[in-house]
Structure 1
Amino acid sequence: MTGFKYIYSLILTGMVLLSCNTRKDVYLFTSFNEPASAGLRLLYSHDAYHWTDLNHIFIKPEVGDAKIMRDPSIQQGPDGVYHLVWTIGWKNDTGIGYAESKDLIHWSAEQHLNVMANEPTAVNAWAPELFYDDVADQFIITWASTVPFRFPKGEEDENNNHRLYYTTTKDFKTFAPAKLFLDPGFSVIDPEIVKFDKGKYVLVMKDNTRPNRNILVAFSNNPLGPYTDYSKRFTELYSEGPTITKTGDNWLIYYDSYRLKKFGCMRTSDFKTFTNIADSVSVPQGHKHGTIFKVTEKTLKQLKLAAATPVNQ
């Protein structure tokens, strides 16, 4: 019995050590509140379903004529650095904002990246999204822009006839010239790339045509496309700003149901069938278009401490 108790004790000790060393991820949701002049907010969740606002501005917008920060997107690189891009204006600005941080609290000087500089008639650059391509070891930045009279349009105004564009970078110092990322044959905005299986990618986006204005997905074997096999529109009218995270075997697609003034959520395991679980999630009132990523409990603790410190200290 003594030998059995000793072995049992070793097993229990090993289980405790394994539990202590297991990384517990926390979900963070980038956010802004209208009128978008305040800056970056962050929500957090331990289960990806129920969200709490840290109620703090982590970086204020300083670049662009409008001095706003809409649609903030954060992606952590393999070196641990967090990269942030955002929309800096509704129109008459073909650039996006950029800053980086090692801890999400202290940020570099903000930069204005004129991503559509090679398109002199472009009118905007909306909702940039970051994706780290671990195969090519580079970041992909996607966004929506209108180049008037470039593409056929439906009922939209010519200055609201968007297509998706992209650039790539390895260091956020040099960037490839912007290229067309997707022309699905209709006005499209709010792209987000997801690697959902080895060698398989999903593009979640908003059909921005006047009859639709809702969310769909398409598929590719390469993050840069081409994307095919478009899904049906699976959210209600007047929904936009989709972002995706995985919990267990399911993917959650959050989106701004802006006419209903709340966030919706769809659950899927295969990006083929979708279940509306909006009644099972809770997102703070006023939260707007952002993206979800994961951090450690230690990072969340540091963010909470920063959020509790007065701005002037």
Structure 2
Amino acid sequence: MKFNNCVFLVLVICFSLGILSCNSKVSDVSSKEEVKEEEIYLFTTFREPKNEGLFLAYSLDGYRWEDLGGTFLPAEVGESKIMRDPSVAKGPDGTYHMVWTTDWKGGNGFGYASTKDFVNWSPQQFIPAMEHEPTVVNVWAPEIFYDDEQEQFIVFWASTIPFRFEKGEEAEDNNHRMYYLTTKDFKDFSETKLFIDPGFSIIDAVIVKRDSDDYVLVLKDNTRPMRNLKVAFGKSPIGPYENVSDPYTGFLTEGPTVIQKDGEWIIYYDSYGDKSYSAVTTKDFKEFTEIGENLSFPKGHKHGTITTISKEILKNLKENSKITTTDNE
């Protein structure tokens, strides 16, 4: 009898351990599913006319993009009250921070708002980042990057200050350089500083982190003969960036944004010369492969940036979209 009780006790313990092991495996699967959910890509975009505000598109694979429509955030700040080039970055607390162009010419700052779900937003702010430059012509395409090494956001943009730099073939009111500031909370900001002067007019730049001391700057050479995309390399997100490459896109291309997928990088860009949207892939930012024929985008899609969202956020966006969706994601 004692022996049978011992056997029964052992069986109970083993069964309990088995259950615990099974529960552990279920937990692991759930964790993997959560990671997979965060791989839903969300593209912030705008439409013409530029005063209509924020539009969104999503993708499960980075190739086929579905329209969520707009306006998810109206354009309310800046003299012109437009919204171009909406750039978004996710902070460590899950908040998405977005900046955008508010004025084509004449503005001295950029727009800012934050959200947890792209439906409910903080009050919009106008950040007068170039108010110390009385002759500044514009503040174009602000881009936001979260620097996890310094635990701060970097916002950088293109501005023209006439007679400040060698202009080459450019007019004095169209000779851009990149500037930046940093912030941890979008309440207190660092002093605005020069971000990069590559010796030519530059706009539409994005930072790509490959390692803690290995960064790539994807940029547009905006000089008249070029107006195409190049890359440069640095050891810090704020540079200096050097070794500017030859162009890897054609004439009249701009607005790059980058994701990492399946061991390579996809650089999306606006081919505004032929009114299309395209992309290249690269593993090393030295050799590039055109993949435009593999992509599909909503009609009228314009450049912004890509972030990732959860399945719950996507569901909420679809429920708040004016576009009827029929898929089961």
What is the TM-score normalised by the length of structure 2? 0.89
Amino acid at match of 1:192: V
| 1:64 and 2:68 correspond | no
The equivalent of 1:181 in structure 2 is: 195
- Residue 150 of structure 1, CA deviation: 0.3
**From 55, 58, 70, the counterpart of 1:44:** 58
The equivalent of 1:102 in structure 2 is: 116
Does structure 1 retain, via aligned residues, the 8 Å contact 2:69–2:322? Answer: no
- Residue 14 of structure 1, CA deviation: 5.8
**From 88, 109, 130, the counterpart of 1:74:** 88
The equivalent of 1:19 in structure 2 is: 29
Unaligned residue ranges in structure 2 (runs of 5+): 1-10, 325-329
Partner of 1:19, secondary structure, is: helix
Partner of 1:37, secondary structure, is: helix
The equivalent of 1:203 in structure 2 is: 217
The equivalent of 1:152 in structure 2 is: 166
Amino acid at match of 1:241: G
Amino acid at match of 1:262: S
Aligned length: 306
- Residue 199 of structure 1, CA deviation: 2.1
Change (3 A) 1:172 1:284: same
Unaligned residue ranges in structure 1 (runs of 5+): none
| Structure richer in helix, relative to its length | 2
- Residue 21 of structure 1, CA deviation: 2.8
The equivalent of 2:7 in structure 1 is: none
* Cα distance per residue 1:121-155 (max 9 Å; x no partner): 11110000000001111100000000000000122
Does structure 2 retain, via aligned residues, the 8 Å contact 1:118–1:177? Answer: no
- Residue 20 of structure 1, CA deviation: 3.0
* Cα distance per residue 1:82-141 (max 9 Å; x no partner): 111000011111110011112211111111111101111111100000000011111000
- Residue 56 of structure 1, CA deviation: 2.5
| 1:287 and 2:301 correspond | yes
Does structure 1 retain, via aligned residues, the 8 Å contact 2:99–2:144? Answer: yes
Partner of 2:50, secondary structure, is: coil
- Root-mean-square deviation over aligned CA pairs: 2.0
The equivalent of 2:246 in structure 1 is: 232
- Residue 309 of structure 1, CA deviation: 9.2
| 1:272 and 2:282 correspond | no
Identity of aligned residues (%): 53
- Residue 197 of structure 1, CA deviation: 2.7
- Residue 11 of structure 1, CA deviation: 8.1
Aligned counterparts of 2:174 and 2:118: Cα–Cα separation in 1:
34
